[in-house]
């Protein structure tokens, strides 16, 4: 890891954030009823790959019991599913639902139209590489 690599992330990420950011207040009073805490939970979930509540709590730096009520509420709203793990039925797997993905998009601090415009400036192979790079950075972030 070089200082130049660190600098590049520090330099480039804010450019994307500033270009796509909108002042946005997440509140439980909106149609989606997603608070900032709810959003921080939902963005860790995936539609295809399940995540255990314990692993999610680890990513968020909280005790699993702390998440219990929030997970129940988000499941009731239809934003996530909680099903038994296929390999170990005693374990639960959390997955983002389509409704949850829509809630993330609607309540994101990154404006969907601005992100769409940003991505439209890239050639298909560049877009694929950019999204893969973001996915890799997010994967590394989850390991922190």
Looking at residue 27, what is its pLDDT?
A: 58
pLDDT score at 143: 80
Q: What is residue 122's predicted lDDT score, i.e. its pLDDT?
A: 96
The contacts found for 57-62 with CB under 8 angstroms, 24 or more apart, are 59/142
Q: Taking Cα atoms as reference points, which of 24, 61, 19 lies closest to residue 44?
A: 61
The pLDDT tens digits along the chain (144 residues) read: 789 888 888 888 888 888 888 766 555 556 888 887 888 899 999 999 899 999 999 988 888 888 999 999 999 999 999 998 888 878 889 999 999 999 988 888 888 899 999 999 999 999 999 999 999 998 888 787
Q: Which long-range contacts (CB under 8 A, 24 or more apart) does 78-86 make?
A: 79/34, 79/38, 79/42, 79/103, 80/42, 80/45, 82/53, 83/50, 85/50, 85/52
Q: State the pTM of this model.
A: 0.77
Q: What is the pLDDT of residue 86?
A: 82
């Amino acid at each position: 890891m070089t200082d130049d690599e660190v600098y590049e992330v520090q330099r480039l990420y804010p450019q994307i954030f500033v270009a796509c950011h909108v002042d946005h207040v997440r509140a439980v009073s909106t149609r989606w009823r997603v608070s900032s805490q709810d959003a921080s939970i939902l963005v860790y979930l995936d539609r295809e790959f399940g995540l255990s509540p314990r692993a999610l709590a680890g990513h968020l730096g909280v005790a699993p019991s702390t998440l219990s009520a929030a997970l129940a509420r988000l499941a009731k709203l239809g934003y996530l599913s909680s099903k038994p793990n296929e390999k170990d039925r005693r374990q639960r797997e959390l997955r983002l639902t389509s409704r949850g993905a829509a809630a993330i998009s609607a309540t994101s601090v990154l404006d969907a139209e601005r992100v769409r415009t940003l991505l439209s400036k890239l050639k298909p192979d560049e877009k694929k590489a950019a999204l893969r790079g973001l996915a890799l950075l997010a994967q590394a972030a989850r390991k922190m």
